[in-house]
Structure 1
């Protein structure tokens, strides 16, 4: 098991109010590198509702990609998708909150990116559907490994409607450059880099933190009673906003620095360890 360093924001379990909601990232956090939930973690999470604790998935993934994990855990809560650009009520199959980007803005970003790198792969998630003009799985996402696009067609055929999340994919050096180009040219969007070969772009007001606050208010749980668990830069604001912030040992230093405690890695039952530390399971 990896060594767990002491963190500047360290907070002892006795110092916190009762936790009423646990928000958990998926890839690199709840899921192992084999994309599985450990049995001990699944059992622990399944026990939380009977103790009055809500379990909320907060992921960059779309609903269709979260569904197998959500159902495995037997959840009935809202889920946070697309880094907060969508809040989805899976039991009722309806949108709770949606913060897309206008089509004119997305077109401008795509033109800017393709002007610099014509080979840049462009994918658009619109609600729970995937659209692209070039299907190439050389560079893809976890969702892209599970599903094929709903439509492969010229950009104009689908960029006439609001876009939930825009993704630019390509070699790491290309995405390095595009990250800076997009951030400088389009301050009205949120640019998230959680994978070397992927740039995720959402409306600037969309974040896991904002969505989690929305969900917490709906459930009557203040952020002071929320535990957030994550591992990547798209989790940073959520961790900063939560009353208890837990980083995985596989997280980068910037994520560990804003967290109250560093759990073992995603391959070492880190989520379960966090639940035990803060008294949510025995």
Structure 2
């Protein structure tokens, strides 16, 4: 069957290593949109860090943010879905992480707002490179609202111990996603890009076999495996490649454009 929906990751997939969009990828996405294909961004990023990309691609679809912890309607400027963690529970995880490693950094994403009690320039996320915290304060000031996503940051050799502890103590109550070696992303256990892509396919009236999902990282493997056509870019993690039906060029080689031309537009 023809592909009627594309769900695509951003970092490491659509974006080059310098986090820019290539002219080839922009043109291919726009050709797909012009052909009537529903193109959905599925990213760990918050809405504010997707906005410029979304506009450059000329999209009008609902986007998947925070790995699926939120769905955002960029056109109308509103969230249409939110699956947060309870603030007290997040505080418990942060305290446990700090007991193990008092220098681990903590960031909270709360409905497109960034709350933190400290920033380390060597441990930045892509979003924090371009946006300042909405609240930089003491720990006790930060836990007043349900938390969309908790991020724990430390050098990879130290983060491994924190990761293991969080899984052992809290693993049944959370979902953990990793796209960078210095960053753990923690969300509600029902959150996964797979679930979000499935839900939006239903919203747009598109069958599973008509969906192509393309990504590169561990947090993309679920949607790649679920889609009728799962695609991994050449630089993808092993988990994504194992889940994929096809492997295309890397993010530096316009792999998204290649996938669209080969599998969607039939060029």
TM-score interval for Structure 1 and Structure 2 normalised by the shorter chain: over 0.9
Q: Tell me which residue corresponds to 2:33.
A: 49
Shift of 1:258: 1.1
Which residue in 2 is equivalent to 1:12? none
Deviation at 1:281, TM superposition (A): 5.5
Partner of 2:131: 147
| 216, 232, 245: which one aligns with 1:247 | 232
Residue 199 of structure 2 is aligned to residue 214 of structure 1: yes
* Contact 2:222–2:243 (CA under 8 A) maintained in structure 1: no
2:164 is matched with: 180
TM-superposed deviation, 1:178: 1.1
Structure 1, gaps ≥5 residues long: 1-16
1:122 to 106, 112, 115: 106
Q: Tell me, yes or no, if structure 1 residue 134 matches structure 2 residue 101.
A: no
Q: Deviations over 1:160-181 (max 9, x none)?
A: 2100000000111111111111
Q: Which residue of 2 aligns with 1:230?
A: 215
Per-residue CA deviations over 1:18-64 (Å, capped at 9, x if unaligned) read 11110110000000011111111111111222212011000000000
Larger RCO: 1 or 2 (CA < 8 Å, sep 6+): 1
Task: Give distance in 2, aligned partners of 1:135 and 1:51.
Answer: 44
* 1:31-110 equivalences in 2 (<5 Å): 31-110=15-94
Give 2:145's aligned residue: 161
On the 8 A contact 1:79/1:89 being kept in 2, the answer is yes
CA contact (8 A) 1:58 1:80 kept: yes
Matched-pair contact (CA < 8 Å) for 1:114–1:120: yes
Q: 2: CA distance between counterparts of 1:260 and 1:272? A: 17
Give the RMSD, CA atoms, in angstroms.
Answer: 1.0
**Given that residues 44 and 281 in structure 1 are in contact (C-alpha distance below 8 angstroms), is that contact kept between their aligned partners in structure 2?**
no
Distance in 1 of aligned mates of 2:119 and 2:163: 22
Deviations 1:130-185 (A, max 9, x none): 00011222211000111111110112212121000000001111111111111111
Are the structure 2 counterparts of residues 145 and 268 from structure 1 closer, same or farther at C-alpha, using a change threshold of 3 Å?
Answer: same
In the aligned structure 2, how far is the partner of 1:214 from the partner of 1:86? 12
Which residue in 1 is equivalent to 2:155? 171
Following the alignment from structure 2 to structure 1, what is the Cα–Cα distance between the partners of residues 264 and 98? Answer: 50
Cα distance per residue 1:221-246 (max 9 Å; x no partner) = 12221100000001011111111000
**Structure 2, unaligned stretches of length 5 or more?**
none
Equivalence for 1:13: none
Match of 1:205 in 2: 190
**2-structure distance, mates of 1:221, 1:192:** 27
How big is each residue's C-alpha offset from its partner over 1:46-84, in whole Å with a ceiling of 9 and x where there is no partner?
122221201100000000000110000010000000000
State the secondary structure of the residue aligned to 1:264: coil
2:159 maps to 1:193: no
TM-score by length of 2: 0.97
Number of equivalences: 266
